[in-house]
Protein backbone atom coordinates (compact mmCIF):
# COMPACT_ATOMS: atom_id res chain seq x y z
CA UNK A 1 0.00 0.00 0.00
CA UNK A 2 1.17 3.58 -0.64
CA UNK A 3 2.33 6.37 1.60
CA UNK A 4 0.75 9.67 2.53
CA UNK A 5 2.74 12.81 3.25
CA UNK A 6 1.46 15.68 5.37
CA UNK A 7 3.52 18.88 5.37
CA UNK A 8 3.82 21.81 7.74
CA UNK A 9 4.67 24.84 5.63
CA UNK A 10 6.40 28.11 6.42
CA UNK A 11 5.08 30.17 3.52
CA UNK A 12 5.81 27.88 0.59
CA UNK A 13 8.63 25.89 2.26
CA UNK A 14 7.87 22.48 3.83
CA UNK A 15 9.69 22.73 7.17
CA UNK A 16 8.23 19.57 8.80
CA UNK A 17 6.35 16.52 7.55
CA UNK A 18 4.67 13.27 8.48
CA UNK A 19 5.16 10.22 6.29
CA UNK A 20 2.51 7.61 7.06
CA UNK A 21 0.93 4.57 5.53
CA UNK A 22 -2.33 4.89 3.59
CA UNK A 23 -3.67 1.85 5.48
CA UNK A 24 -3.57 3.90 8.71
CA UNK A 25 -6.24 6.20 7.23
CA UNK A 26 -8.65 3.70 5.62
CA UNK A 27 -11.25 3.86 8.42
CA UNK A 28 -14.48 5.28 6.89
CA UNK A 29 -15.43 6.82 10.28
CA UNK A 30 -12.10 8.04 11.68
CA UNK A 31 -11.44 9.57 15.06
CA UNK A 32 -9.04 12.44 15.61
CA UNK A 33 -5.47 11.24 15.95
CA UNK A 34 -2.14 12.83 16.78
CA UNK A 35 0.67 12.26 14.30
CA UNK A 36 4.32 13.16 14.91
CA UNK A 37 6.13 15.47 12.54
CA UNK A 38 9.75 15.17 11.42
CA UNK A 39 11.91 18.14 10.49
CA UNK A 40 12.77 18.57 6.81
CA UNK A 41 16.54 18.52 7.10
CA UNK A 42 16.98 19.78 3.53
CA UNK A 43 15.35 23.07 4.56
CA UNK A 44 17.00 23.17 7.99
CA UNK A 45 14.50 25.56 9.62
CA UNK A 46 13.77 23.02 12.41
CA UNK A 47 17.02 21.40 13.53
CA UNK A 48 15.92 19.08 16.37
CA UNK A 49 13.44 16.20 16.04
CA UNK A 50 11.71 17.02 19.33
CA UNK A 51 10.97 20.56 18.09
CA UNK A 52 9.07 19.34 15.01
CA UNK A 53 5.92 18.74 17.05
CA UNK A 54 2.65 16.90 16.47
CA UNK A 55 -0.54 17.69 14.60
CA UNK A 56 -4.02 16.39 15.23
CA UNK A 57 -6.12 15.41 12.27
CA UNK A 58 -9.09 13.41 11.15
CA UNK A 59 -8.54 11.83 7.76
CA UNK A 60 -10.21 9.02 5.82
CA UNK A 61 -8.96 7.68 2.50
CA UNK A 62 -11.64 6.02 0.40
CA UNK A 63 -10.80 3.52 -2.36
CA UNK A 64 -13.33 4.53 -5.02
CA UNK A 65 -12.35 1.68 -7.38
CA UNK A 66 -13.00 -0.92 -4.67
CA UNK A 67 -15.87 0.63 -2.66
CA UNK A 68 -17.59 2.84 -5.23
CA UNK A 69 -18.27 6.55 -4.90
CA UNK A 70 -18.57 8.16 -1.48
CA UNK A 71 -22.09 8.84 -0.18
CA UNK A 72 -21.58 12.28 1.43
CA UNK A 73 -25.14 12.36 2.79
CA UNK A 74 -24.41 9.52 5.19
Q: What is the pLDDT of residue 1?
A: 63
Full DSSP string of 32-45: PEEEE-EE-TTT-S
Q: Please check whether residue 51 lies inside any domain of the structure.
A: yes
Please report the beta strands in 1-74, taking only residues with DSSP state E, as ranges in sequence order: 3-10, 13-21, 33-36, 38-39, 54-57
Q: Please check whether residue 16 lies inside any domain of the structure.
A: yes
Q: Please check whether residue 10 lies inside any domain of the structure.
A: yes
Total structural domains in the chain?
1
pTM exceeds 0.85 for this model:
no
Q: What is the pLDDT of residue 6?
A: 95
Q: Is the pLDDT assigned to residue 29 strictly greater than 90? A: no
Q: Which domain holds residue 27?
A: 3-60
Say how many Å lie between the first and final Cα of the chain, rounded: 27
Amino acid sequence: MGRIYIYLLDGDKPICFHAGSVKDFMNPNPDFQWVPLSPDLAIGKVKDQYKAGYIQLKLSIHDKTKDGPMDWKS
